[in-house]
Every structure is written in C-alpha cells, then in structure tokens.
Chain A
Amino acid sequence: MYVREYFKKKIGRISLPDNFLFYIWLFVLIVLIEVGAYGIVQIHTKPIMPTQPFESYAGVPWRLLVATYVFFVVSTTGLCIVSSLGEVFGFIRLKPVVRMGLLLALVTILVGLMIIGLEIERPFRAPFAFLAHVNPYSLMFWMIMFYALYMVFLIIEMWFILRDDIIQLSIRSPSSLGRFLYGLISLKFLEPVAGSYRPKYRRKLEHEFAKVLGFITVFVAIIAHSNLGAVFGVTYLPFWHGPLMPIYFILSAIISGAAILMFSSIITFWARGVKIKGKIYDSIQMLRVVLGFALVVDLFFIAWKFVSKFYFPSPVTKEALEIFLYGPLKINFWVFELGIGTLIPILILAIPITGRSVKWNLAASIMTIIGIFVLRYDLVIGGLLGKSISGITYQMYSPHVFEIMAVVGFFALTGLIYTIGIKILPILGTMEEKTGRGE
C-alpha cells in the first residue's frame, strides 16, 4: 500500500492501473520460475549430481532438492494440521485463516511432489514405475502413496468446503467465462434447484462431510508424514536412526505450518487491503499461541536429542553430532536453527509487547521459516555427512548453483499458484463480500 502511494506520487502523471504492483509481482514470479526451470533442465542434462562414491562427501546422494522437498511436505502437513485445528477440532478463533491454510497446504503438496518427481534421476520413469511395480516393504513407496492420497483427499475436502461459495460466484461472476468455469468446478448442474438458493439440508450435509473429510485428510497427512520421518529413521546413519524421527517430523510440521500460515496470512491480508483487527487479529494471535507452544516443545526435543547422543562419547553418535556442534554445519546449527529459528521467535512471541504486534509476529514467522528451512537442510545433509568414516576429514557439501536456482524457482511457483488461487477461489470470501470485490 505504501509502495503504491509512493509510486503514485513519483510517477503522478502517468496513470497506472490500480493493481500494477500485482502485475509486477506476477512478472517477478514468472521470471523466477523460468530461472528454476533452467536450473532443473541443467541438473538433468549436465552431470552435476554425485560422481563420487557416497563415502567421499562429494557424493552425498540426497542434496538441496531433497531438503527442499522435505521442507515443502513438512509445511503441507503442518498447514493441514493447523487448518484442521480450526475446521475440524473446534479452534474457532482460527476460522478466518482456515481456507488460506488449506489452499497453501494444497499448493505446497503439489509443489512438493513436483520437486521430488524432478529430483530423482529418471523423472519420466517414476510415474509409470509407481503404477506398475511397487515394493510394499519400501517406506518410500508408502510415503509417496500416502502423500498422493492426502493430496486427493485435500482436494475433495476443499471442494466441499468451497462449493457453496463457488456456486454463488458462478451466479454473480461478471464474465460469462467465469460463470461457466465456476459452474463447472462446482458441478452446479447436479443441483436440483437452479439459482442461488440451495436447501439448507444439502449445505449442512456438505459442511459435515467436509469436516469428516478434514479429519481423514489430517489422518492421512500424519501417516504420510511420519512415513517420511521413518524413511530417515530406518537407515543405519547415526543421526537419523531411531524411532523418534517420525514423531519429531510431526512436531516440526506444526511449527512449520503455523509459521507459514502466519506469514502468508499477514502478507495476504495486507496485499488485499484487509485491516487486521477483530476476528482476523484474534486468529493471528491464536497462531502465535500454537507456534510458540510448538517451538518450546521443539526446543526441548532438540536439547534432549543432543544431550542423549552426546552424553556418552560413543564414537558413532558423537561423530554424527560433532558436525553440528563444531563441525562444518556449526553456523547453520547455532545461528540459524537455534538462534534465528527457535530462540528469537520464542522471545518475540512470548513478550507481550512484541507478541501482540502484527509486524513483530510477521518477523517471528519469517525467522521461523528460515530456521525451519535450514533445519531441513541440516537434517538431510548433516545426517548424510554423519556417515562416520575414519581417516577422512570433513568436507562440506555445498549446493550447486543450478540446485539453488531450482529451489528459487519452486518457491516462486508456490507463490504463483497461491496468488492465482487467492484470486480465483473464494478463499477470503466472507470478508470480501462486505468490502466489494476487493482489488
């Protein structure tokens, strides 16, 4: 808003379209997506992937893209859990951000599955392989299966939640194309009575069914997500190995989900010119409680994990943690994971003056998101570097520039799909009806 005012003063004479900032935003996103696409193509055409044996640290098999995939699916699970708190489990204060959370969950699972599909060496083979010959003993197979199921359930759930509003949109939309498309999406022709009136019974049933579906979706999401934790947990690598990994994944999912929902809801409300007060403010305060609580639990989790593995200097577990405490990942661990990712956000959220301010909440959520991303990176890379090998000194794996480009592209893609979703779906529906059509 301030930027728009500034531009208007600056370029006063030229009449800008009202939403020119929006077009700039779209343009930047599309450019970044192209950068990412270039990176992905380069990754698959040029042999930048490990050409060294795993033991030599240059041949780390799972890299930045896997870390990003983990980040995205952690986020989607967290978003689904946090949204369901509002939708299914009766945290009614979260109501204003529930739809946003579900949309973001859908976007992140789509992009997440896309990342892992493009990360593997034979992307064109994978869909067929997963349809033809699968190994029921492989946790990775079940992980993909459950994430796919989760995606399907999530789409159905969102459809049932949004259907009523989409039908309204299909009636009120100014363009005939819009009317047609909204009618098609909502399957309006199945309605017995044409027009905007719908019997209460049907709406009620749809609403209840959406709730049931929401419950199933959360359940499937948690299954899928703990499966992802187990993918790491079953390996012999000392940092990963253990039954706590799946539980830890679920816990960190809540952090990730609450932080991302807080961040994106504040940004979206600002961008759409919705004043953050009243019920919306309450919902963000609720997210603050959820995020703060999850962060504190996570702090204890990290602390005891490290203490229990470091207490007796068994060479196996010790070497795995040395990387984090004073090895090549020490800055990532102390500064990003602990400082920026956990301690400072806890402080910001806990102190009343900062905790009640929306801007400080935004800062805390951004810090948490950065911390979580670094944490995912450290989890994947650090676990693999922790393969204890005597006689070889630590070398740090550093991401290739193409990998970084690809990651940037995926984030931009997330932003783009989310923006389009906000534009065309009645995500902020109830608020916008009062203030006209928004932008």
Chain B
Amino acid sequence: MKITRRELLTRTIVIVLGTGISFKSTRGVEEEKNLVMCIIPDKCIGCGMCVKACKIENKIPVEKPISRTWIEGYEIKIKIPYSESDVKKIVMNTSKNPFLTYKWGDGEHFFVPKLCNQCQKAPCVRVCPVNARFYTAEGIVLVDKNSCIGCKYCVTACPYGATYLHPDQKVTDKCTYCYHRIKRGFSPACVQACPTGARVFGDINNPSSEVSKILREGSVDVLLPEEGTDPKTFYIGLENKFIVEHSIATGEEINE
C-alpha cells in the first residue's frame, strides 16, 4: 500500500486528534445478526445440566471449580437492615451438584445462572495489552488464545468474574456463546441442555425470534448496569427478588 505524504500527514493528524474518541472495532460492515441470551432465573431449578454440557462441549476440566457458566444459589433472609450473614451464596461449577446436599434454611431461595455477559463495551477488551480479545461481527467477545500472554488483567477487570485462567492451556478463557456451534446453526450447549427453558438464545434483530418476544414483554435487567458495560446477556424478572448483591442489581429497562 502506498501512502502519499499528504495522506500520511492527514492520517497522523486524525490519529492524534482522535485517539481519545475513536473506537477501534473489528466489526464488519453488515450487522445483520445480533445474538443475545436471555436468562429467566425463575425457571432455573439448579440441576446443573448447563454447567456439565458447557464443560464437556468446551473441554474445560470438569472437576476443577472453574467454568464458563455457573449457577449461583442464593439463600436470603429478608430483614431490614440486612447484614452480611443474611446472604448465603452457593456456587455450582463442577459436575457435583451442591444444591441437593446443602441444608437450606429459612428465607427466600433462588438460582441465578451466570456466564460471560458479552458486554458491548467490554472492560476485558479495553484492558487487554496485546489485543487478544476482540468483538466479532455478531457482537461476541472472543479470546484469541494464540495471542493471549496470560497477564490476567482481564480477570481483574471483569466485574462479573466471568473470565478465568485456563489451568491447562495457561491462557485466559471465557464463554464464547459457543461460537463454533452458532456458526453451524446450533444453539449454545447450555441453552440446549437446559430442561426448563431458563436460557433463551437468539437474534434480537429478528422481531419474530423468541428472544425478541421475551425482551419485548418482560421487564429486562442486566447485571451491574452501573459499570456501563452494556451486556448482551439479559435477565428477566429479577426485580421480584430481594436485591442485595451488587452483582444482581436492577435497572436499565430495555425499550425494544
């Protein structure tokens, strides 16, 4: 590619002026599909099928307590003012199901499945020093495992705790919405494995898809809206829960 001197000068000026404003994006020109996931915590029964399916599908060590998706079981005593000990959180991220053996006490109980929120303004993409994280045309954040140097800044920067260090590959890893599956027309493994339909996956640009209908009807929340990450994983009907945990915050109605 040849660049004339004039072009070089203008480009330099644009770059110098625009470093703060311009957003480096690898998104393609045509943004036909915008894939999102909708999670309905009311329907989750804590069976852990999604965790197992995800781990086998993506070859994550099954018995190690790291997972691309995990289920949090909450036991909350409703009391005002609440104290730290009124909130109990049990995490399922291996093939063992702790919910069946846990001695549940009084209070309100519910499950919240969690995974990478696929933020559209992702902190992990922003902080990665070697550009190993990027957005695809569908708006999915991927980790380039051939470039990742394992500095773990993304692990520190992710407010959702959704990214982690893969112990065998020695690079960071996170949910990709099963990119290889959705490229072939399947739905993600966790969605396919869910027996109650607590996870719905689809294209939000297609008005007749199930996701669009759900998002149009229910009250939609995202996790940690105050972080300004613009997630693409939506949560339906969290507001009837007792909201105490910082990562289960309400707010940000989506007007589709």
Contacts and interface: CB of A to CB of B under 8 A. Distances in A.
Direct contact of A and B (CB under 8 A): yes
Interface of A: 47, 49-56, 59, 61-62, 120-122, 125-126, 129-130, 133-141, 144, 231, 234-237, 315-316, 384, 387-392
Contacts of A391: 74, 84, 87-89, 245
Contacts of A59: 66, 164-165
Contact of B65 (A53, A141, A384, A388): A53
B171 A51 contact: no
Given A61-B152, A138-B126, A390-B84, A52 B246 contact: no
List the 4 closest A-B pairs by CB distance, nearest first.
Answer: A121-B150, A391-B89, A61-B152, A141-B129
A139 B157 CA distance: 12
Contacts of A139: 127
B147 A129 contact: yes
B89 A389 contact: yes
Interface string B36-77: 000000000000000000000000000011110010001000
B207 interface: no
Interface of B: 19, 24, 64-67, 70, 74, 84, 87-89, 91, 93, 123, 126-132, 147-153, 155-159, 161, 164-165, 167-168, 170-171, 227, 244-246
A388 B158 CA distance: 13
A138 B129 contact: yes
Contact of A129 (B66, B149, B155, B165): B149
B65 A56 contact: yes
A390 B244 contact: yes
B88 to A, nearest CB: 5
B84 A138 contact: no
Contacts of B171: 121-122
A126 B132 CA distance: 12
Nearest to B150: A121
Contacts of B127: 138-140, 234
Nearest to A238: B246
A235 B157 contact: yes
Nearest to A145: B129
A315 B83 CA distance: 10
A50 B165 contact: yes
Contacts of B157: 234-236
A53 B152 contact: no
Nearest to A127: B149
Contact of A140 (B84, B151, B158, B227): B151
A129 B131 CA distance: 9
A135 B165 contact: no
Given A125-B147, A126-B130, A391-B84, 17 more contacts: A51-B165, A52-B65, A52-B66, A121-B150, A121-B170, A122-B148, A133-B130, A133-B131, A134-B129, A137-B24, A138-B129, A235-B156, A236-B123, A237-B156, A316-B246, A390-B84, A390-B89
B167 A47 contact: yes
A120 B147 CA distance: 13
Provide the main secondary structure of the chain A interface: loop
B167 A49 contact: yes
B156 A56 contact: no
Contacts of B19: 136
Given A47-B167, A130-B129, A56 B150 contact: no
23 contacts: A50-B164, A51-B64, A53-B70, A53-B161, A53-B164, A54-B164, A55-B91, A59-B66, A122-B149, A122-B170, A122-B171, A133-B147, A135-B129, A135-B131, A137-B126, A140-B127, A235-B123, A235-B156, A236-B157, A237-B156, A316-B246, A390-B245, A390-B246
Nearest to B224: A236
Given A54-B164, A122-B170, A236 B227 contact: yes
Contacts of A55: 91, 161
Contacts of A52: 65-66
A125 B130 CA distance: 10
Given A50-B165, A53-B164, A122-B171, A135 B156 contact: no
Contacts of A134: 129-131
A313 to B, nearest CB: 10
A135 B246 contact: no
Nearest to B15: A136
A145 to B, nearest CB: 9
B152 A121 contact: yes
Contacts of B165: 49-51, 59, 61, 121
A201 B122 CA distance: 57
A231 B156 CA distance: 10
A121 B74 contact: no
A392 B85 CA distance: 9
A129 B171 CA distance: 14
Contacts of A51: 64-66, 165, 167
A130 to B, nearest CB: 7
B81 to A, nearest CB: 10
Contacts of B246: 315-316, 388, 390
A248 to B, nearest CB: 18
Contacts of A237: 156
A111 B184 CA distance: 49
A50 to B, nearest CB: 6
B249 to A, nearest CB: 12
A389 B246 CA distance: 8
Contacts of A235: 123, 156-157
Contacts of B158: 54
Contact of B130 (A129, A231, A234, A384): A129
A325 B245 CA distance: 23
A277 to B, nearest CB: 48
Contacts of B89: 389-392
Contacts of A54: 155-156, 158, 161, 164
